[in-house]
């Protein structure tokens, strides 16, 4: 059935006007004023609401094995949670397993993602860089539409690759239309600091932050940028949290190098003080990189203003605080005796749009256009999804969010749709709320009602990445 969204305030990264949108066959067909349609068209009134392109979150870990741990959301639950938060597209991380082809990693990921309720693309995490896997990267790019590859400079023995492997993968990505994504922290020095802290009996969650100092994020970011420059790849620094890292990105961008970066809501709104929460609650905030102090936060807001940060994504990597009945062996409780055993990751996929709207638009004076840009348009452009995704125009997918910019509400884990048993933002009051969500023209969220279904999300073969 065709859909008409009428009388809304349509805001994209560049437009802001009142109008009606007619969606048919999943695609925006007509935009105009006072469009008249037949009785066979489902009509929604968006008076008083913002009509925004569906959010795009390019950093999630659904049903993901991370060392001995596994994230708690399936694609079904994680994407439903995303949809309630106004996000209609995810790019999720799948990974190569040591000794296996990354193509096998993608096949396994496809089995898991069949339950997705919104559209999903994949980044590939490269662990085992050799002649065959480098050749497989080209197949992933050209045949499978996987046009971004993540490599870790942290977690020695688990995910980290050395600089030589990093450089080889960067060269293949750069030469074949793909972008390299980097987890930039100096893993070997962190390993020394963690070991020393544990030996000294420093076991509380707060030592997660002190053993991963910002200078090590700055160092790795600088190193990644210089290697990318030599390899000729566009680079995307994921989950940037530190002023030193942003300074390296800014310096490179000022020189005209294609370096891009994202940050996440938790780095914009929370600080390392949250690790001090009583009753082991600090463990909820153990993600990597760790939360920093206000000085870094100011830098991140500066970066969003000056476009040295282009994207806000979530790094949704959910591990329950308490043991849960989902057959998961690992919760945050695993690290009750030592911060070094707390699974690294936190949820966020459902709260990104309201938090950023409230924090950025209402409190930091960001324009609504820029809000759309950092949460939808820029991710689409950077990761080869534009113009199908990331805007509202004739011919784009009918992925649309009706958003009330004035509704005040309180974030509560109990009201969210992920399997996770907490939110980083429990009790936080925000202004701005997702009211309805359309995926390719179909209303999947209507207030608190779920109208979508598992399996309706489509796989997104992506085009060239990092060439904006």
Query: Using CB under 6 A as the criterion, which residues of the chain lie in contact with ligand DUC when the complex forms?
Result: 61, 183, 238-239, 288, 315, 317, 344-345
Cβ proximity to Zn ion, 22 vs 153, nearer residue: 153
Cβ proximity to ligand DUC, 86 vs 343, nearer residue: 343
Beta strands in 68-147 (DSSP E): 69-70, 87-95, 119-125
Cα(221)–Cα(219) distance, integer angstroms: 6
Q: Other C-beta atoms within 10 Å of 184: how many?
A: 31
344 binds, among ligand DUC, Zn ion, none (CB under 5 to 8 A by kind): ligand DUC
Cα(374)–Cα(316) distance, integer angstroms: 17
Cα(59)–Cα(125) distance, integer angstroms: 12
Cβ proximity to Zn ion, 2 vs 189, nearer residue: 189
Cα(269)–Cα(25) distance, integer angstroms: 40
Evaluate whether 403 touches 49 at the Cβ level (below 8 Å). Answer: yes
Could you write out the DSSP letters of every residue in 18-33?
Answer: EEEEEEETTEEEEEES
Stretch that binds Zn ion, among 84-92, 114-122, 178-186, 457-465 (CB under 5 A): 178-186
Of residues 121-160, those binding Zn ion (CB under 5 A): none
How near is the Cβ of 286 to ligand DUC at its closest, in Å? 10
Cβ proximity to ligand DUC, 238 vs 400, nearer residue: 238
Cβ proximity to ligand DUC, 13 vs 342, nearer residue: 342
Q: How many residues bind Zn ion (CB under 5 A)?
A: 2
Could you write out the DSSP letters of every residue in 361-396?
Answer: IIHH---HHHHHIIIIIHHHHHTT-TTTSSS-STTS
Stretch that binds Zn ion, among 111-119, 216-224, 303-311, 313-321 (CB under 5 A): 313-321
Taking CB positions, which residue lies at the least distance from Zn ion? Answer: 183
Taking CB positions, which residue lies at the least distance from ligand DUC? Answer: 288
How near is the Cβ of 444 to Zn ion at its closest, in Å? 25
How near is the Cβ of 330 to ligand DUC at its closest, in Å? 13
Cβ proximity to ligand DUC, 83 vs 237, nearer residue: 237
How near is the Cβ of 400 to Zn ion at its closest, in Å? 27
How near is the Cβ of 148 to ligand DUC at its closest, in Å? 13
Stretch that binds Zn ion, among 179-187, 277-285, 367-375, 385-393 (CB under 5 A): 179-187
- The b/e string for 255-276 (b: 16+ C-beta within 10 A; e otherwise) is eeebbbbbbbbbbbbbbbebbe
How near is the Cβ of 222 to ligand DUC at its closest, in Å? 19
Name the token pair of 124.
């590939």
- The b/e string for 91-114 (b: 16+ C-beta within 10 A; e otherwise) is bbbbbbeeeebbbebbeebeebbe
Cα(296)–Cα(246) distance, integer angstroms: 9
Asked whether position 315 contacts Zn ion by CB under 5 A, the answer is: yes
How near is the Cβ of 59 to Zn ion at its closest, in Å? 5
Give the Å distances, CA to CA, from 3 to 42, 440, 442, 447.
Answer: 5, 10, 7, 17
How near is the Cβ of 97 to ligand DUC at its closest, in Å? 17
Cα(281)–Cα(264) distance, integer angstroms: 20
Stretch that binds Zn ion, among 39-47, 183-191, 198-206, 411-419 (CB under 5 A): 183-191
Evaluate whether 75 touches 112 at the Cβ level (below 8 Å). Answer: yes
List interacting residues with Zn ion (CB under 5 A).
Answer: 183, 315
């Amino acid at each position: 059935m065709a859909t008409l969204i009428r009388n809304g305030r349509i805001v994209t990264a560049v437009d802001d006007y009142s109008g009606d949108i007619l969606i048919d066959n999943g695609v925006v067909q007509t935009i105009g004023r006072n469009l008249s349609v037949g009785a066979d068209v489902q009509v929604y009134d968006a008076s008083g609401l913002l009509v925004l392109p569906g959010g795009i979150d390019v950093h999630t870990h659904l049903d993901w094995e991370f060392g001995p741990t596994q994230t708690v959301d399936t694609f079904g639950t994680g994407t439903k949670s995303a949809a309630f938060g106004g996000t209609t597209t995810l790019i999720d991380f799948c990974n190569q397993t040591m000794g296996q082809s990354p193509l096998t990693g993608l096949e396994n990921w496809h089995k898991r993602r069949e339950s997705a309720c919104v559209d999903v693309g994949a980044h590939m995490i490269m662990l085992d860089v050799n002649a065959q896997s480098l050749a497989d990267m080209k197949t992933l790019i050209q045949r499978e539409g996987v046009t971004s590859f993540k490599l870790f400079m942290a977690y020695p023995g688990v995910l980290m690759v050395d600089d030589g492997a990093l450089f080889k993968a960067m060269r293949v990505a750069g030469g074949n239309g793909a972008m390299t994504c980097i987890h930039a922290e100096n893993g070997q020095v962190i390993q020394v600091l963690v070991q020393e802290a544990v030996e000294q009996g420093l076991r509380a969650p707060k030592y997660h932050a002190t053993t991963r100092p910002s200078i090590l994020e700055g160092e790795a970011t600088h190193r990644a940028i210089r290697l990318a420059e030599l390899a000729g790849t566009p680079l995307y620094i994921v989950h940037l949290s530190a002023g030193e890292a942003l300074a390296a990105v800014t310096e490179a961008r000022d020189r005209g190098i294609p370096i891009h970066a994202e940050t996440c809501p938790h780095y914009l709104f929370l600080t390392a003080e949250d690790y001090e929460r009583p009753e082991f609650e600090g463990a909820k905030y153990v993600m990597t990189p760790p939360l920093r102090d206000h000085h870094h936060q100011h830098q991140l807001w500066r970066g969003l203003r000056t476009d040295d940060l282009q994207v806000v994504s979530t790094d949704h990597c959910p591990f329950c605080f308490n043991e849960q009945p989902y057959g998961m062996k690992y919760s945050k409780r695993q690290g009750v005796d030592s911060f070094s055993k707390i699974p690294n990751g936190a949820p966020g996929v459902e709260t990104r749009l309201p938090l950023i709207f409230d924090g950025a638009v209402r409190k930091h004076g960001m324009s609504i256009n820029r809000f759309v840009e950092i949460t939808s348009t820029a991710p689409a452009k950077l990761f080869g999804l534009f113009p199908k995704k990331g805007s509202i125009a004739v011919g784009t997918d009918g992925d649309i969010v009706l958003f009330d910019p004035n509704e005040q509400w309180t974030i509560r884990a109990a009201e969210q749709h992920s399997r996770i048993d907490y939110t980083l933002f429990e009790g936080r009051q925000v202004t701005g709320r997702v009211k309805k969500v359309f995926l390719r023209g179909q209303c999947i969220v209507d207030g608190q009602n779920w109208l979508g279904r598992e399996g309706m999300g489509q796989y997104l073969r992506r085009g060239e990445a990092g060439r904006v």
